[in-house]
Chain A
Amino acid sequence: MSRLVVGPFNRVEGDLEVKLEMSDGHVARAEVVSPLYRGFEQMLQGKDPRDGLVIAPRICGICSVSQSVAAAAALAGAQGLEPAPNGQLVTNIVHAAENIADHLTHFYLFFIPDFTREVYGSEPWHAATAERFTALRGSAVRQMLPQRAEFMHIVGTLAGKWPHTLSLQPGGVTKWVAANEVQRLLGLLAGFRRFLEQTAIGVALEQFADLRSRDELFALLESCGPTQSDLFQFLKISEALRLNRLGRAQDRYLSYGAYRQTSGHLFARGLRDGDVRQQLNTGLIAEDVSNAWMLGPDTALHPFDGVTEPDGHMTSGYTWCKAPRLAGHAAEVGALARQVVDGHPLAMDLVAEGSNVEARIVARFLEVAILVPEMVRWLREIRPADAFIAHGETPNDAEGAGLVEAARGSLGHWLKVSGGKISNYQIIAPTTWNFSPRDAAGQPGALEAALVGAPVRNGETEPVAVQHIVRSFDPCMVCTVH
């Protein structure tokens, strides 16, 4: 048995360290360390509930819109407020814009540069990969950054700025949208679609979203000939390295449901553990602190009753991250989980033999392909003459939960108000689920499970397979602990 500490584990959002035990050239055990504690849940105590909308989203600079949507939904729940229909549409558009931008950021900036590493220098695909995907210097990043920046004009137009917009409120949004702005954004989306179809994905978005199996996906890749999109270039690498066999977690997928519409969510809410989608009972969520540097009761607590008290002496445990569990079980969250819970045939087929690195990447592109046409539809549904916000009173004593889907998966804010002030505010972020430490029963989180069995080459100090697995989750460490 040998040991490795990998850190700083970069090209993730925030700070990460991974401790590995290896035997026979494979990872035998992994511990995931979140080394930064800031204390947002403590800061929010005693604040005016409306201030939560300013403070809580600043947990995270990469999913700050998701944090805003969750904070607004928690307060709306406490107020018993329904958002104005226009407000919900604009919220969905802004939220989808952030999630799509995050998926692109993940692929181009965080994930794909690992395949340009020297360890792959003798692979037939390496030269082309290095030309296209080398961090900061490859041709892809130069193409993608301006496209992404222009795409984010959607948030500039509808919500002022990104990240840390303040426009998303419990009853809708603080900006009315005029008819000409709708038309401008439709044009912007058409340009962005061209980039996706010609460069990133390589085929019509609808054609990609209609794929039903991994075989169909690879048949499409073959039929597209030698000029290949960035996704297809990755899929060839994935096939060569068998990334569809790497990084299996527990195959238990959770989604709170994404993008509220008049009839339910665009992507369904639920839990998939085996073949059937189950109803989600969020009352069974509890956070365990057995291996976190946290004080508090030994029993796991539902977030409405959660306690955040850091152990400054760091006496026992190995991370600042708590361990959320659903009915005592760990779960995987993210784009893949969302699409599997929603029952998308391609996502289901990609995980037929277990979750894996390739499936996590393809699922993000699948979401991008589905969401861009949905954004067009939401824009057209805006009725500029109607209200964009509903106003509510700040409650004296109430509670509310804001459960949303960030790019990286299920995000929950649980708010309690007493005497007109915040008396408890608990947050469980997507990477809190995925990168949780072991719980009292010794059950690992999704990443700790996914790393077991990962191959380690001779002499590797930062095993490249471990890097692929870790980054396939698109971790956001600043959210994880907050």
Chain B
Amino acid sequence: MTRPAGNMHNLLWLQSGGCGGCTLSLICAEAPDFVTAFETAGINLLWHPALSTETGRQVTSIIDAVLSGDVPLDILCLEGSVMMGPNGTGRFHMMSGRDQPMKDVIAALAEKASHVVAVGSCAAFGGITACGGNPGEAVGLAWDGDQPGGLLGGKFSDRAGMPVINIPGCPVHPDWVTETLSQLTAGALTRDHLDALGRPDAISGSLVHHGCSRNEFYEYKASAEKLCEAGCMMENLGCKGTQAAGDCNTRAWNGSGSCITGGYPCIACTEPGFEEPGHPFVETPKIAGIPVGLPTDMPKAWFVALASLSKAATPRRLRENATSDRIRVFPDRKKTGRKS
């Protein structure tokens, strides 16, 4: 095995402290499917734990060939967090067939890779695997929650001078992976395309709030009180759509969905530390009746003033629908101006 022909890019995908859900999301990619997307991007998949034929010793030799430099590694993808426990030993995940902590295998491969990509919030920040006191000592590749660090350290830069590229989400949207990797192989992803957390701006440039199907309720602060009610879920049900990165409501999930179209508040799964919000996921913490965690870049006084104004102006249709278990009051017919 040497460098693949033409403009092909070798990609090695590893999994550690995660659920495999980012790969399962990836295989839901449509128009194009992920195999076509990878081919078009010139990706030569050296190995993927769920998808490749090679097993056992064949895998070990692929990894050894990368480590020895015989096979160039253009992109290393990690899915799942890095397991540092117990007590920093990494024994909570020994790589099978290798008798070596997975964290050490990942670190050694990251040194060889032109680019390192964290697929999903676990690999990026620790994610759900770092929840509840973090019994497994799970960290991200270059982040431990919202602090630089993780396995490779906050100052890590790859052989091309880029930090770890963090594709967040629990799980990732399939397009976030195919588009980020395609941009990377096309040379169209630079440091300038990453936000302070290493997330591509195609993801971090949007808020989940954008395109939310409940935006009209938000405008008038017409709020749902229980799950499966039609109103805005920010005031009472913990929705973080106004603070979370992602184009979830302008780019459909599984054809037409998003957490919010499914009737559930955004839990900000693209943000570091989402797993420990400090309150039940479906409750909005409030101080003196005002939700904490308002939109990140809006002055609080203005928000409060606008909210009370818009609440006062809420049309009956929205007020009644907000706490209804479906849309019951429909928009009035517009008068056409025609005289009968």
Contacts and interface: CB of A to CB of B under 8 A. Distances in A.
B262 A175 contact: yes
A110 B21 CA distance: 15
Contact of A48 (B18, B19, B93, B280): B280
B64 interface: no
Contacts of B128: 55, 58
A408 B93 CA distance: 23
B17 A166 contact: no
A160 B18 contact: no
A33 B85 CA distance: 18
Contact of A61 (B21, B45, B93, B263): B21
B20 A60 contact: yes
B263 A55 contact: no
A312 B85 contact: yes
A153 interface: yes
Interface string A223-240: 000000000000000000
B290 interface: no
A89 B321 CA distance: 24
B273 to A, nearest CB: 14
Contacts, number: 264
B54 to A, nearest CB: 7
Contacts of B94: 35
A135 B254 contact: no
A208 interface: no
Interface in A1-52: 5-17, 33, 35-39, 42-48, 50-51
A387 B275 CA distance: 31
Contacts of B57: 461-462
Contacts of B136: 37-39
Given A10-B59, A389-B227, A161 B30 contact: no
B51 A135 contact: yes
Interface in B69-105: 83, 85-87, 89, 91-98
Contact of B226 (A16, A110, A391): A391
Interface stretch (A142-150, A338-346, A434-442, A445-453): A142-150
B27 interface: yes
Given A35-B95, A39-B135, A10 B25 contact: no
Interface string B40-83: 00000101011111111111000000000000000000000001
A62 B96 contact: no
B262 A117 contact: no
Contacts of A36: 16-17, 83, 92-93
Contact of A51 (B19, B98, B280): B280
A419 interface: no
B27 A145 contact: yes
Nearest to B89: A312
Interface in A154-204: 155-167, 169, 172-176, 178
A45 B253 contact: no
B51 A174 contact: no
A478 interface: yes
Contacts of B254: 149, 152-153, 155-157, 161-162
Contacts of B92: 36-39, 310, 320
Interface string B222-249: 0000111000000000000000000000
A156 B228 contact: no
B74 to A, nearest CB: 18
Contacts of A152: 28, 254-255
Interface residues of A, number: 87
B160 to A, nearest CB: 26
B51 A5 contact: no
A54 interface: yes
Given A17-B96, A160-B260, A149 B29 contact: yes
B296 interface: no
Given A13-B20, A312-B91, A478-B18, A161 B51 contact: no
Contact of A15 (B56, B93, B275): B93
B323 interface: no
Q: Which of B16, B28, B50 has the most CB of A within 10 A?
A: B28
A465 interface: no
A473 interface: no
B212 interface: no
B188 to A, nearest CB: 25
Given A50-B280, A136-B51, A152-B28, A9 B56 contact: yes
B219 interface: no
Nearest to B92: A37
A134 B171 CA distance: 27
A109 interface: yes
Interface of A: 5-17, 33, 35-39, 42-48, 50-51, 54-55, 58-62, 64, 105, 109-110, 113-114, 116-117, 134-136, 141-142, 145-146, 148-150, 152-153, 155-167, 169, 172-176, 178, 310, 312, 314, 320, 387-389, 391, 461-462, 467, 478
Interface of B: 15-25, 27-30, 33-36, 45, 47, 49-59, 83, 85-87, 89, 91-98, 128-129, 131-136, 138, 170-171, 226-228, 252-264, 267, 269, 275, 280-282, 325-326
